[in-house]
A and B are shown apart, each in its own frame.
Chain A
Amino acid sequence: MRKIVSLILLAILLSGVIFCLTEIPFGRSLSKVREYYIDNGIKDTGATNIVTSVVVNYRGFDTLGEVTVLFLAAIGLSAVLHQEEKKPKKEGRKSSLILYTGCRFLFPLTMLFGAYIFIHGHLTPGGGFQGGAIIASGFLLTMLGCWKWRGINKSAAKITESIGGLVFVVIGLLGLLYSGYFLANYLPKGLPNELFSAGIIPIIYVAIGFKVGAELTGVLDRLIEEP
Chain B
Amino acid sequence: MILEIILVLVMLVAAVSAGTFKNLLNAVIAAGFVSFIAAILFFLLNAPDVAMAEASIGAALTVAIFVIALKKTKRHEDDEKNS
Cα distance, A117 to B68, chains bound together (Å): 27
- For A74, what are the chain B residues with a Cβ–Cβ distance below 8 Å? none
- For B60, what are the chain A residues with a Cβ–Cβ distance below 8 Å? 133, 137, 140
Q: How close is B79's CB to chain A, nearest CB, in angstroms? A: 27
- For A51, what are the chain B residues with a Cβ–Cβ distance below 8 Å? 49
Q: How close is B76's CB to chain A, nearest CB, in angstroms? A: 20
- In the assembled complex, 18 residue pairs joining A and B whose CB atoms fall closer than 8 Å, in A order, are A51-B49, A125-B48, A125-B49, A126-B52, A127-B49, A129-B57, A130-B49, A133-B56, A134-B56, A136-B61, A137-B56, A137-B61, A137-B64, A144-B64, A216-B61, A219-B65, A220-B68, A227-B72
Cα distance, A169 to B11, chains bound together (Å): 40
Q: Which A-chain residue is minimally distant from B71 (CB atoms)?
A: A224
Residue count of chain A within 8 Å CB distance of chain B = 21
- 9 nearest A-B residue pairs (beta carbon): A125-B48, A133-B56, A130-B52, A51-B49, A137-B60, A223-B68, A133-B57, A125-B49, A130-B53
Residue with the greatest number of chain A CB neighbours at <10 A, chosen from B48, B53, B61: B61
Given contact pairs A51-B49, A126-B49, A127-B49, A133 touches B61 in the complex (Cβ within 8 A): yes
Q: How many of chain B's residues touch chain A, expressed as a range?
A: 10 to 19
Given contacts A51-B49, A220-B64, A223-B68, 7 further A-B contacts (CB under 8 A): A125-B48, A125-B52, A126-B48, A126-B52, A133-B53, A220-B68, A223-B65
Interchain CB contact (< 8 A) of B52 among A52, A117, A136, A216: A117
